[in-house]
Structure 1
């Protein structure tokens, strides 16, 4: 079994019931994740690589309709010169122990710089606790709408 799938299954099986609890460590993780999500768009819009500070050194992105993007250099290329958008995340569920790994299940809404909605979708992020706090380890996202070819 692939390590990432095993991690997700173990997280769900071991912490599914208590993942929604109000444990102090999970509350603290939620607070840190919400803070990181709140500045995500601003960092991405800077085009200076600052968005990478939200990810672990061994992170991977799983964008829709594309191959996985792993490693800081490849992720920097992915984000470089991306569109200027604002994204708001709404956490639906957090699962995990709040101490080592947490799985975030969220929805996003994306608007252009004038506030016009351009997309909405869902996000699954595995967050990893590092010496520098909670960082995104795996980031998977997709639109709720069909792709325009």
Structure 2
């Protein structure tokens, strides 16, 4: 019995060594899958939950929004001023050591209330492992439109 338990523990350790980003990747995929539900449902709490309390959101052509109120401030602009109602992320890369921080690079699309493409572009997010799990720590993105 002890040998079987030791073998299972060793297999788990090897898996962690083989893919140190597995936990972060899974958390990022889960977070990204529900991120835009904040806009679909008009529920800022879903959006805020994706971000670390000490986050910075660095949108194009605007000063960075940082700190505990940054996510709500950005959500209000995106929802009320720009009329975002849905979107999606396409992750292209996740890299880092998987311990405290990882970086995600990808593409995004956002849609208006009529389901029409509002904008699209690229992003780079630095994720931070917090006591509440993996959260967006630095979120930088830009449009592909001229």
Shift of residue 106 of structure 1? 0.8
The runs of 5 or more residues in structure 2 that have no matched partner are: 1-16
- Measure the CA separation in 2 of the matches of 1:28 and 1:66: 33
Q: Which of 22, 34, 38 is the matching residue for 1:39?
A: 34
Paired residues in the alignment total: 125
Query: CA deviation digits over 1:35-92, x for unaligned, max 9?
Result: 1011111124524333111111110000000000001224312212612321111111
Q: CA RMSD in A?
A: 1.8
Cα 1:34–1:141 shift into 2, 3 Å: same
Shift of residue 136 of structure 1? 0.4
Equivalent position SS for 2:21 = helix
Alignment of 1:65 with 2:38, yes or no, is: no
The runs of 5 or more residues in structure 1 that have no matched partner are: 1-21
Equivalent position SS for 2:31 = helix
Cα 1:133–1:23 shift into 2, 3 Å: farther
Equivalent position SS for 1:72 = coil
Contact 2:110/2:117 (<8 A) preserved: yes
Aligned to 2:142: 142
Query: 1:1-149, aligned counterparts within 5 Å?
Result: 23-45=18-40, 46-80=42-76, 82=79, 83-146=83-146
Cα 1:23–1:132 shift into 2, 3 Å: farther
- Following TM superposition, the consecutive aligned residue runs of length 4 or more in structure 1 with deviations greater than 3 angstroms are 47-50
Cα 1:100–1:117 shift into 2, 3 Å: same
User: TM-score by structure 2 length?
Assistant: 0.77
Shift of residue 111 of structure 1? 2.0
Contact 2:47/2:71 (<8 A) preserved: no
